[in-house]
Amino acid sequence: MRTTLRDLRRLHAERQPIVVLTCYEASFARAMDAAGIDVLLVGDSLGMVVQGHDSPNPVSLADVAYHTRAVARGSQQALVMADLPFGTSQVSPEETFRNAVVLIQAGAQMVKLEGGVDMADTIHFLVRRGIPVCAHIGMTPQSHHQFGGFRVQGRDEAGAQRVLADAAAVEAAGADLLLMECIPRQLADQIVTQAGVPTIGIGASPLCSGQVLVLHDVIGLGPVPLARLAKDFSAAPGGVAGAIRAYAEAVRAGTFPDAQHCY
């Protein structure tokens, strides 16, 4: 039986960590099912780790749909979440809905979009029409030009207030999951404490309801040096499948992330 949003809410209520990992194709999807990954994220990080770009922004809706179809065919257990790539959610709610439908029809059970306060109307529009939404706040990679790079957000008081306002706005709009990336741990802890929906962290806090990493970082194919938020599990026995299992076990045991992976 495939994991559903209901299952994620139950894990959250029971304080059992939710394990999320990016996935872009069928063979890895099968390996991730075998390792018990709860959510496979077809992230627009595929622009960097699969297509070789230096940012996610060249990725198209057709690209994400293609990889979502492959992941959905390969997996039978995990919930499949697909990213709305750059330019496909920064449009009207109606157009975003049509773009989200493409990803749902490709096999996703949930879409992810970047942004907070400014995306509230769009999130509301999608969830009212039956599309589960994960809102990605903090360091939103599609806005890296605006940030002057892939930089930690919310470090100063004004920045922290912006991230807090984003978290409150997306939850009020009906977002089903709140994903926060690259924000100070203290700020992430405050959001986790205030949030009524499951929170997923990457460079955020061990207190989040779940964690996500990019597959290539986990299996030893990430950049050298790895970003602080990531961890290479490729030294675990069992090759690639063993690294994926070790990541899942570390998240469930609460040993990843630790202070070394937070800001």
Q: Which of 83, 166, 176, 232 binds ligand KIV (CB under 6 A)?
A: 83
Least Cα distance to 167 among 196, 131, 145 occurs for 196
Cis status, amide bond into 17, omega within 30 of 0 = no
Structural tokens at position 148: 């002057």
Residue 25 interacts with ligand KIV (CB under 6 A): yes or no? no
The count of residues interacting with ligand KIV (CB under 6 A) is 13
Least Cα distance to 103 among 122, 117, 91, 85 occurs for 85
Nearer to ligand KIV, 81 or 156 (CB): 81
Cβ–Cβ < 8 Å for 243, 21: no
Cβ–Cβ < 8 Å for 160, 185: no
d(CA 33, CA 240): 13
Cβ 216 to ligand KIV shortest distance, Å: 10
Q: List phi, psi (to 5°) of 172.
A: -60, -30
Q: Which of 3, 22, 199, 209 binds ligand KIV (CB under 6 A)?
A: 22
Nearer to ligand KIV, 70 or 179 (CB): 179
d(CA 174, CA 126): 9
Cβ 67 to ligand KIV shortest distance, Å: 11
Q: Which of 163, 214, 236, 250 binds ligand KIV (CB under 6 A)?
A: 214
In which residue are the tokens 């059992």 written? 16
d(CA 216, CA 130): 32
Residue 202 interacts with ligand KIV (CB under 6 A): yes or no? yes
Residue 181 appears among annotated catalytic residues:
yes
Nearer to ligand KIV, 118 or 156 (CB): 118
Structural tokens at position 105: 């029809």
Give the range of 11-19, 36-44, 154-162, 245-253 binding ligand KIV by CB under 6 A.
Answer: 36-44
Nearer to ligand KIV, 136 or 231 (CB): 136
d(CA 49, CA 133): 24
Residue 89 interacts with ligand KIV (CB under 6 A): yes or no? no
Cβ 62 to ligand KIV shortest distance, Å: 16
Nearer to ligand KIV, 1 or 118 (CB): 118
Using DSSP's 3-state secondary structure scheme, residue 201 falls into: strand
Binding site for ligand KIV (CB under 6 A): 22, 41, 43-45, 56, 83, 136, 179, 181, 202, 212, 214
Catalytic residues: 181
